Amino acid sequence: MSDIIRRDPRAEWIARNRLHPLHAAMQTQQTSWMGPNGIIRKNPHAIAAGFIAASGLKRLDRSGAQQGTATGGRRTAAAEVQLPLHQVTDPAFYIAVVPDMVGGRLGPHDRDLLGLAHSLAGKDGAVLAIVFGEHKEGNFGAAGVDRLLVIEGEAFQGYAPEQLVQGLRAVDNQFAPQHWLLPDSRTGGGELGRRFAASLGERPATRVWQIKDGQCIGRAGAGQQDLQRGMARLILAAAECAEPVSETRHEALPVELSTSVARSLSRIEDLGSVAVDPAAIAMAESEFIVSGGNGVKDWELFHRATAALGATEGASRVAVDDGFMPRTRQVGATGTWVTARVYVAVGISGAIQHLQGIGACDKVVAVNMDPGCDMIKRADLSVIGDSAAILQALIEAVDNYRSGGQRDAA
């Protein structure tokens, strides 16, 4: 909200209208003042009229500090609402959740899953989230995590599915959760859950989209059929299986494994990710997009910058209409709706259609000349300046970073 002081004609009208129910609250009545003879005078009626507090309730303040909510006095932005804290001091049972943590943060699928876990846990159970390795999530409590178990170690880095299963088995031995919930996703949960199920010898309920009355319903076959069955101990749930937790805060108390995780003999060696031609990745599923718009004048430089960054190219409608980019590269409501984790908008002011198209993006970086444009309101990081100079500097910085990184490795 801006801090510009504006007239509020409605409030002024109420202040003039003695019959209006809010009239008293709008008065700037002095409650005490010095009379002409040097005697302090008080107006008890003004004190008794009280004022309307931020909570919406009428309050009286007899300390003399009360100033009616006057016409000039504006209510500032609503105070942060503190949600009630849900505490489970002595959990009767655990519901274990293994979130995917794509990019080190809880994703929407993970939050749905925590909501489902919370509905299964009720009042007595605790939701135990198990996270492997480092994470960047700062607010597990708001997502509905009662207990947080972070399992760290070198063995869990990279692609080590067999070691992760060992970790989950150790958790299973110590906490014996009533239910295990994993996201049935391609980003790891689907695979890990099935491996874990095979290792435990449990028959999981897969692609579950609803849990009701002790029955879980999941898609079967190629999605043409539903399979309804009793509650399974291990549940692989689809996205939007439940509403995420939104009405309570949780403690997210850290817990630890009492034993160390057994090392499994690794039969799968991770040789690292392979460079993929970013142009070959479909834009809708690309992870990192650099888009150019009307502000880009030197397209040769733009192409060099995207190549240096290893990003998929995108464009705004204007750039496509002007013939600088093919129609297939257009981002926005009339083009492709992208889901990139990082979206860099170069010289794009942010028409509403374009902002719709990048609605699912996590982090948006804007490079623009105009500090007041809509894209900068949306962006997590904005750099105001000439796009050509910044792209040129970015290419140099990336080259430096790459060569510096190699020197460190050598």
Partner 1 sequence: MSTKVISLVSIGAHPGSGRSRRAEQDARAVELGLQLAGDNLQVVHAGDHRQEALRAYLGMGLDHLDVLEQPEGADVLEVLGNYLRDAGAQLVLTGSQAETGEGSGMLPFLLAEKLGWPLIVGLAEVESIENGTAQVLQALPRGQRRRLKVRLPLLATVDNAAPKPRQSAFGPARRGVLAARDVAIVEDELLADAELQPARPRPKRLKVIKAKSGADRMKAATAKASGGGGKVLKDVSPQEGAEAILKLLVEEGVLR
Shortest spacing between CB 13 and partner 1, in angstroms: 18
Which 32-91 residues touch partner 1, going by CB under 8 A? 56, 78, 81
Is residue 286 involved in binding partner 1 (CB under 8 A)? yes
Kindly write down the DSSP assignment for every residue of 275-297, as one continuous string.
---GGGS-GGG-SEEEEE-TT--
* Cα diameter, the chain: 96
By the 8 A CB rule, do 99 and 114 touch? yes
Q: Binding mask 108-147 vs partner 1 (x if CB under 8 A, - otherwise)?
A: ----------------------------------------
User: Tokens in use for 395?
Assistant: 């290419």
Helix (H) or strand (E) holding 319: helix 317-321
Which 156-185 residues touch partner 1, going by CB under 8 A? 159, 162
Nearer to partner 1, 147 or 250 (CB): 250
Is residue 249 involved in binding partner 1 (CB under 8 A)? no
Is residue 287 involved in binding partner 1 (CB under 8 A)? yes
Span of 16-24, 88-96, 123-131, 194-202 interacting with partner 1 by CB under 8 A? 194-202
Distance separating alpha carbons of residues 207 and 210, to the nearest angstrom = 9
Which 351-380 residues touch partner 1, going by CB under 8 A? 352, 355-356, 359, 362-365, 367, 371, 374, 376-380
Distance (Å) of CA 119 to CA 210, 248, 325, 386: 12, 12, 49, 52
Nearer to partner 1, 138 or 223 (CB): 223
Distance separating alpha carbons of residues 202 and 36, to the nearest angstrom = 88
Is residue 392 involved in binding partner 1 (CB under 8 A)? yes
Is residue 209 involved in binding partner 1 (CB under 8 A)? yes
Question: Which one-letter DSSP state was computed for residue 90?
Answer: S
Distance separating alpha carbons of residues 98 and 114, to the nearest angstrom = 9
Selected binder of partner 1 within 12, 124, 247, 321 (CB under 8 A): 247
Distance separating alpha carbons of residues 369 and 367, to the nearest angstrom = 7
Is residue 399 involved in binding partner 1 (CB under 8 A)? no
Is residue 279 involved in binding partner 1 (CB under 8 A)? no
Shortest spacing between CB 285 and partner 1, in angstroms: 5
Q: Counting Cβ atoms within 10 Å, is residue 70 exposed (0-12), middle (13-18) or buried (19+)?
A: middle
Span of 13-21, 248-256, 304-312, 327-335 interacting with partner 1 by CB under 8 A? 304-312
